Amino acid sequence: ERRTIIGSQAMTPYLFNIPLEAIVRFREQLTLIDLIGETDPKVIMKGIWSCYQENPTPFKEYKLYDPGAYSDSAISCSLTWKVKHPEEIEDWEIDEIVKDIREPEVSAEKLKKIGGEHMKEEKRALTIAKRLLKVTEELSAIARLCIEEIEGLEAPSEVEMKKEEALIPEKAGPAVKSVAVAKEEPETKEELYFTHQLKGYSGVLAAFEVLDRDICHNGCSLPAAVITAQKRLKRLKEGIGNSPLAGGKRQELENRVNGFMERLESLPQDKSQPCQKTAGTCTIGKGCFASGALKLVDLITEPVPPKNL
């Protein structure tokens, strides 16, 4: 019932590997008899022996027999496969999830006693959760907008240039020596890729610093995410160093990476303490914002990494 093995104290995610049709088939084909606590081996042996008799055989209040092959085609599935949907939520779970995340009621006496500070903390936690959820959507939108703006920056056409020249009246004057104007080179794919990646890490660091000041300071999830971010930033810095970017631009990007690394160094990195969700002190509910914040970088899919990186 509710994807729970009979006799188990909790649900198992592996039952999501078995279709409900197979569970219904299992119930139709078999009758389960509870022998838990039975210590007489003769009774147990008779129960097993009765199950493979062709004729119905009395056993306790049952009549057991082997019905033979099932009429429909077989359904093959296994509990030992990799969990296909570890985070899947079924309809019957929604009420329990909503119940867990409802704001707790606070008595008027308590509010008067503490001056509403308790409610302020609860609202602050909910506000932080909403902001972190918005960061995901905003980073994806920022990445798309940046690319559209860069592609939209085109040089003025010859027709526009001629119109501007026609509007300026010619005046006789001393000859002026022409000065060559350096044309700004367009950003390369490598430069765009690194710039957008660093924008993503800017959002990740902002989320980490908010979590460090609030719910995740004494847990292990935030330190684990910080260490992973350090490793990924280190690889990104190596890619910048090996890229064909101009020296000045390369140095600028490396300086930004170094700045991010310094900010990460100031965040918790001790994974020995238990996760606050495991300890029962996490106020967020389902999911983990510390590990989810690092996935913000994965939303930046444009431009794709250059082949030479």
- Domain range summary for the chain, segments of one domain joined by +: 13-85, 117-150+187-299
Question: Is the overall model pTM greater than 0.85, yes or no?
Answer: no
Q: How would you write 21-41 as a 3-class SS string?
A: HHHHHHHHHCCCCCCCCCCCH
Whole-number pLDDT of residue 181: 45
HSE-CB at 205 with a 13 A cutoff on CA atoms is 19
Strand-pairing partners, residue 63, are 58
Rounded to whole angstroms, the Cα distance separating 11 from 8 reads: 7
| Total residue length of the chain | 309
pLDDT digits (tens, 9 = 90+) for 240-256: 888 888 878 888 888 99
Long-range contacts of 82-85 (CB under 8 A, 24+ apart): 83/13, 83/14, 83/16, 83/17, 84/16, 84/17, 85/13, 85/16
Residue whose token pair is 């899947």: 88
Q: Could you tell me which of 236, 214, 213, 216 has the C-alpha nearest to residue 291?
A: 216
Please list, in sequence order, all residues whose beta carbon lies within 8 angstroms of the beta carbon of residue 189, skipping any fewer than 6 positions away.
Answer: 303, 306
Number of H helices, E strands in the chain: 11, 2
Q: Over the Cα atoms of the chain, what is R_g?
A: 33
Which tokens hold the place of 104?
């707790």
SS3 assignment, position 44: helix
Identity of the residue numbered 175: A
116-171: pLDDT as tens digits: 555 566 666 677 767 777 776 666 666 666 666 655 555 555 555 555 555 555 55
If one compares 284 and 177, the residue with the highest pLDDT of the two is 284
Residue 57 is given by DSSP the state E
pLDDT of res. 186: 55
Percent of the chain with pLDDT over 90: 2
Question: What does 207-254 look like in DSSP terms, one character per residue?
Answer: HHHHHHHTTSTTSSHHHHHHHHHHHHHHHHHHHHHHS---HHHHHHHH
Out of 10-14, 48-52, 212-216, least confident range? 10-14
Instruction: Please give the DSSP secondary-structure letter assigned to residue 105.
Output: P
Sign of CA dihedral 252, 257, 260, 266: negative
Cα distances (Å, whole numbers) of residue 92 to 15, 44, 51: 15, 37, 35
pLDDT for 258: 92
